[in-house]
Every structure is written in C-alpha cells, then in structure tokens.
Structure 1
Amino acid sequence: MERSSSCFFLFLVMGLMKVRCSADHHHHLENGSSTNSWTSNPRKLLVFGDSYADTGNLPKIVAPSWRKPYGVTFPRKPSGRFSDGRVFTDFLAKFLKINSPIPYKYRRYGYKVLQYGMNFAIGGSGVFDTVFLSANLTTQINNFKKQVEQGAIDLRSSTALVAVSGNDYVHYQDNGGTMEGLKTFTPKVIDQLKKNLECLRDLGVETVAVTNLHPVGCLPSFTRSSSYKKCNTSANDAVVYHNNLLEAAIDELNRDNKNGSAIAIVDLFNGFMSVLNKGGNKFGDILRPCCEAMTSNFHCGFADSDGMEKYTLCRRPDSTFYWDSSHPTQAGWKAVFSSLKPTLNNLLN
C-alpha cells in the first residue's frame, strides 16, 4: 500500500480478471506426491504479491525503492525492496534454509540463480489491476506457469507465498469507493484471490500459503493525522472483515481439495499486532516512520529537481518499526517474523 486517506482503500478499475488455469496446463508431480502441510526444508520458494514481498521486480526508473535511502541497512544500497533492508520474503527464505529467490526480471541469469525458486511479486500490485507497471496476481501466476512450461522451475518441494497487502482497496478508495461499498467490493477481492490460490495449487505447487491483511489502520499513512499516536479503527475494522472472508474461503478450498495439499494462512494481522502492542519495549514511538515525507505530497526517497531531499530520516532504522508510510523496517519485519515462528514451525512440521 502506498497512499492514505480517511476511509480505507482503493477502486476496481477494469473489471474482474479471470485466471487461465485449464487442465491442459497442470503440472502435478509425476510421482503424485503431495503434502498436507508445508514440507520440511523445501528447496524452492515461489513468491507472488506486492511490495511486502517484492525484492526488486519494479523498473528502476519508476520505483522509489530503487532510490536512496531505501536499502541503507541491507544491502547498503537500494535493491528494489520497499524497506531499509530485508523484507518478509528474505526472512521466510532464511527460515526455509534457502537463499532468497531471484526476482522474475532476472530470470535469464541461469540455473544457479533459479534453484531456490523465483519471486514474481511486484510492488503496488493487487488481485485486480491497481497501478501502472504492477502486474496483477493473475498475470504473475501466468508468468510463473510459463516458467514451469519452459522447464525453468521444478515444482518438487515447492512452497508458494502469496502476499496481499491491500492495494486493491487503496485503488478502490482512490477511485471514489466508500466504506459502505466495501461490503460488496471485499467479497469480489476474496473471490478472485480464491481463484488465484486454487490455480497455484492445481498447477502443482506442493504448498500454498497466503498472508491475511495486516492492521492497515496502524500504518503511518493513517496515523499521521493523530501525530502517530493512534490507529485508524475504521480501517482496521475493514481489515478484520477481509480477513474473516479470507479464512472462510480458505476453509472452503481445503474442504473441497482433491489432491491433498492444504492452503495455509500466514497471520500477518496478529503478527503485526503482537509487535505493535508491545510498543516501547523495542521501537519507542512505534507508529512513526523512520523515513518521513515532509508533506503528504512527497514520499520517502523523493528529491526535487535541485536534488533537495523532501523527507527526513531517523538516525537508527533498527529502532523503528515502520520504515516509510506503508512498510516495516528490516527490524520491524524481523520482529513480526519472530512472532510468527511458532505458527510457521507447526505448518512446516
């Protein structure tokens, strides 16, 4: 998510996208192997979604994540990650004992960089069309399918992470959507996401996991109006609605599943809340971002034509939870991931 306002999210621009996932293109393992939970130490991580998982797919010419001060902690320069350092994908890959998978745009670099999987996530994307240059989830899955068909990705011991962080709702709001309209728009988002997840499983991915929505109302883009003192309860109520519908959809997918592999939810909402509720124990003014735009017209990393920076930067990113108006710092992601480890251990064993 990149922008804020008093309501919650954004508008559906071009209608529902349909996942092309016909039986002729399924790629199940020939030995028929599948698992009921995440396999232990999977060799490949396949990543789909938005800026919470993107490790460099957006073009350098348009993405603020390729400008200073992004990447100041890791790898000491901008790398396309929307943070000062590592993002959720990197922590999950380390947890799975593999290297972080290469971004899709670098796919031509050869087998050695493909052996750990591939990252198709692209900042700003949603399940529907959201912003220019950000491929929606259906397009990402179609790109993945082409890689499988070309033999670039072996689906044995494969785990897919799908990170959906709210860009559909940002787009909905920016195009005039209302809080009342979310009652009908949110089920459309969930229905399309459900089709995407089912398609990934049908293509032969052994394990599929999807994030629920984090507490969006606690993002600095929402808390700025209260001088970073309190979360937006209306936005968080909308998040709970989305997450409840998601849980019901995943339950239905798992009940109707024919091949034995379950789809799991990664509970980012409670992962974030666990850290946010601890407040000053580690992060001090926890709702205030490290990289703060001088006005709402600017963003972290923006400089004018004279090179004048239009943002301020904290002295220690490792002491703040949020990096910019929408994304955690590396330290923030590390704290969230630590709170999720018990659940992830259960899923993996």
Structure 2
Amino acid sequence: MPTSSMVKQNQSIMALLLLFLIFAISTEVEGTKLFVFGDSYVDTGNFLNSPSYKPPSGITFPGYPTGRLGNGRIITDYLASFLKIESPTPYALRNSSNLQNGINFAYGGTGIFKTLVDGPNLTVQIESFEQLIKQNVYSKSDVESSTFLVNAGANDYTTFILKNKNIFEIAKFMNSLVTEVMLSLTRINRLGAQKIVVSLLQPLGCLPTISVASLYVDCIDLINLVARDHNKKILANVEDLNKEVGKPVFRTLDLYNSFLSAIRTIQQNRKENSTLINPLEPCCALASVGYDCGKVDEKGQKKYTLCEKPELSFFWDNVHPSQNGWYSVFKQLESSLSQIIG
C-alpha cells in the first residue's frame, strides 16, 4: 500500500510534468513566426485569380497548383524550413488555416507603389498586419520574436519603364522608391518587429524576358545596373536605419549575388555537360504573344509549351525561378542565413 507521503510525492511529480507540458506547448505556439510582404517571388497563395492556381503551376511539387508562381517550392518555403517552421499561411486563406507559423501578405504582381496588377501594395499589406495586431491575433511577444521578410521593387521598375518609357528619369524614381521602402521598414519596426529582412533586387537583366535579347546566352548587364544601383541605396539606407535604432534590426537578403552565382555555376557546368538546361531559358515558354504560362484559349488549347524536365530548369517562366532555381539560390544564401534570419 502506498503511503500518504508517496502519494503526495507522485502528485508533485505529476504537477511538475503537467507544468513542463504546458510550457512546451506554449513555447511551440509562441515560437518564431515568419511574416512576409511583397510580390510573387514570395507569395504562396494570395493571388487567387492568377496562373499560380492553374496547371502547370506546382507540377514538380506537390503535383498540383498551390498558389505559387512556379513549378514547386519558392524561396519563402526554403526560408521557413530553415527556421524549422511550416510556410506561413497566405493572408487570403487566413480563416481556414492555423496561424501559428505567421502570415504571408505578399501578392503577386504588386510593388511598393501602384503597379500594373490591381492588388494590395506594400503599404496596404502592412496595414493588414496592423489590423491583426489590433484584433489581438498576434501578441507583442509574437511580433518581437518573429522574422519579417520584405521583397518588392521589381514590379515597380517594370511599371515605370512601361508607363514612362524614359529610362533617363529612372534615377529620380529609384530615390523615391528606396525612400518608400525605408518608411515601410520603419513602420514594421514601430509595430515591435526586431528582425526585419529586406531582399536586394535580383539581377533583372538575367530574367528570360530580358535575356532573350541575347538569345538566352547571357544576362543584359545594362539592366542589371539598375538592380545594382537600387541595391547600393538599400544597403546604405539599411545601415543608417540600424545606426538610428542602435542595433541590427534591419538586415538584407542578397538575391542579386546569389542569383548570379547560381546561374554562373550552372553555365560553367554546361561547358562540361551540354545536356544540362540553359539556366537563362524559361521552362514554361509562351506559344503566342499575349499569353501567360498556364493560359489556354477559348477551345481549351494550351498557349504555352513545357521543357522536358521542369525539375532541372532554373527559370520556370519569363520572370520566376523554378523550384530548382530557388533551391540553387537558397543554397547560395544558406551559409549566411543564421546571421540574417536565424
């Protein structure tokens, strides 16, 4: 027969185990979250009425469209995996999913200012996040312990060039764009965020829609110059912001050099193995002008063609990397990520 002291001892042990369990659960719920703002490079499902929800998107993974503009995982998924969490729920699907990993507000085609796509720009996306804080969906500790990713700008330059058709005014536009980015980062910081990562622009001259001018042989450096100048201004302004707050709250994710390194590595390997896919060539190519990857005509005929091995391509379409492309970029970034988002 157990004595009363033994019973009390067992009760104490059970109470301690219960407290430990509660602590473990609360730690999991209150752990690192990822909040994402920006465009299609990081959007995992907010652009509901787009090719991201139509075949052949998602053909490599998971085998069907998931709202990502590509054939599978994108950089958001790899960064979330690095943080050991699932990809954050798209804001458009917030009522049907759990929110413990954060929220993705990014919307394909949008930018810092108004673009050619009628969707929520960066300012509106941040406002949506503010509303969730006011509704107590996320606590102060949630915000302080989370990582915030901002990836925007490429669509703004595209819109500017198509509307203004005057590349000589791009320097003035660049200054206003970078100023607005800094205001957005500061706004996120004032909401309590202590780890804010802004992407540097990818090498725009390497996108198939541009590199087609070289017959996909090389990147167009004149266009890459725009991205380099933009990135220099971002880096300088981020440094100034960190000096103002007195600690490294603001960090940068170097998509520019990671893209270039990944592309050049594949190009070098192709010299030894010509069967490898040209990294500058899109896998999902348009069969007719005016159609996007995934579009069909009124008879249901596909207006695009697919490469033989989408899983080995670097670019999925004229603008977006494939899953393999994003993985290659991620591997270039991986060694520095513990300092950036870890």
TM-score norm. by structure 1 comes to 0.84
CA distance in 2, matches of 1:198, 1:42: 23
CA displacement at 1:261 relative to structure 2: 4.9
CA distance in 2, matches of 1:204, 1:275: 35
Which residue of the partner structure matches residue 335 of structure 2?
342
Which residue of the partner structure matches residue 198 of structure 1?
186
Which residue of the partner structure matches residue 55 of structure 2?
68
Which residue of the partner structure matches residue 332 of structure 1?
325
CA distance in 2, matches of 1:196, 1:348: 19
Which residue of the partner structure matches residue 89 of structure 2?
102
Q: Is the 1:159–1:208 contact (alpha carbons within 8 Å) kept by the matching residues of 2?
A: yes
Q: For 1:62-211, what aligned pairs fall within 5 Å after superposition?
A: 63-109=50-96, 113-153=98-138, 154-211=142-199
Q: What secondary structure does 1:155 align onto?
A: helix
Which one has more relative contact order, counting CA pairs under 8 Å at least 6 apart?
Answer: 1
Structure 1 or 2: more helix by fraction: 2
Which residue of the partner structure matches residue 46 of structure 1?
35
CA displacement at 1:164 relative to structure 2: 1.6
CA distance in 2, matches of 1:199, 1:177: 32
Q: Which amino acid aligns with 1:141?
A: I
Q: What secondary structure does 1:338 align onto?
A: helix
Q: Is the 2:293–2:304 contact (alpha carbons within 8 Å) kept by the matching residues of 1?
A: yes
Which residue of the partner structure matches residue 45 of structure 2?
56
Q: Is the 1:52–1:165 contact (alpha carbons within 8 Å) kept by the matching residues of 2?
A: no
CA displacement at 1:295 relative to structure 2: 3.4
Q: What secondary structure does 1:114 align onto?
A: coil
CA distance in 2, matches of 1:347, 1:266: 7
CA displacement at 1:347 relative to structure 2: 2.9
Moved more, 97-106 or 154-163: 154-163
Q: What secondary structure does 2:103 align onto?
A: strand
Moved more, 240-249 or 226-235: 226-235
CA distance in 1, matches of 2:334, 2:62: 24
Q: Which amino acid aligns with 1:134?
A: G
Q: What secondary structure does 1:173 align onto?
A: helix
CA displacement at 1:120 relative to structure 2: 0.2
CA displacement at 1:278 relative to structure 2: 1.1
CA distance in 1, matches of 2:124, 2:238: 21
Post-superposition Cα deviations, 1:240-290, rounded to whole Å, max 9, x if no partner, equal 1101111111111111115x4520000000110110111243753110011
Post-superposition Cα deviations, 1:101-159, rounded to whole Å, max 9, x if no partner, equal 0000111225xx10000000000111101134321100000000101111112324211
Which residue of the partner structure matches residue 239 of structure 1?
227
CA distance in 2, matches of 1:348, 1:223: 32
CA distance in 1, matches of 2:233, 2:288: 35
Which residue of the partner structure matches residue 205 of structure 2?
217
CA displacement at 1:66 relative to structure 2: 1.2
Count how many residue pairs are aligned between Structure 1 and Structure 2: 304
Q: Is the 1:42–1:159 contact (alpha carbons within 8 Å) kept by the matching residues of 2?
A: no
Q: Which amino acid aligns with 2:132?
A: Q
Q: For 1:286-301, what aligned pairs fall within 5 Å after superposition?
A: 286-301=279-294
State the percentage of identical aligned residues. Answer: 38
Structure ID, larger Rg: 2
Moved more, 152-161 or 285-294: 152-161
Q: Is the 1:219–1:287 contact (alpha carbons within 8 Å) kept by the matching residues of 2?
A: yes
CA distance in 2, matches of 1:268, 1:296: 29
Aligned partner of 2:218 among 207, 230, 233:
230
CA distance in 2, matches of 1:284, 1:251: 39
TM-score norm. by structure 2 comes to 0.85
Post-superposition Cα deviations, 1:185-223, rounded to whole Å, max 9, x if no partner, equal 100100000000011111111210000001010100011
Structure 2 residue runs without a partner (length 5+): 1-29, 271-275
Q: Is the 2:70–2:317 contact (alpha carbons within 8 Å) kept by the matching residues of 1?
A: yes
CA distance in 1, matches of 2:237, 2:302: 45
Q: CA RMSD in A?
A: 1.6
Post-superposition Cα deviations, 1:289-311, rounded to whole Å, max 9, x if no partner, equal 11011234222111110111111
CA distance in 2, matches of 1:59, 1:346: 34
Pair 303,55 (structure 1): closer, same or farther in 2 beyond 3 Å? same
Q: What secondary structure does 2:167 align onto?
A: coil
Q: Which amino acid aligns with 2:296?
A: A
CA displacement at 1:231 relative to structure 2: 1.4
CA distance in 2, matches of 1:77, 1:279: 27
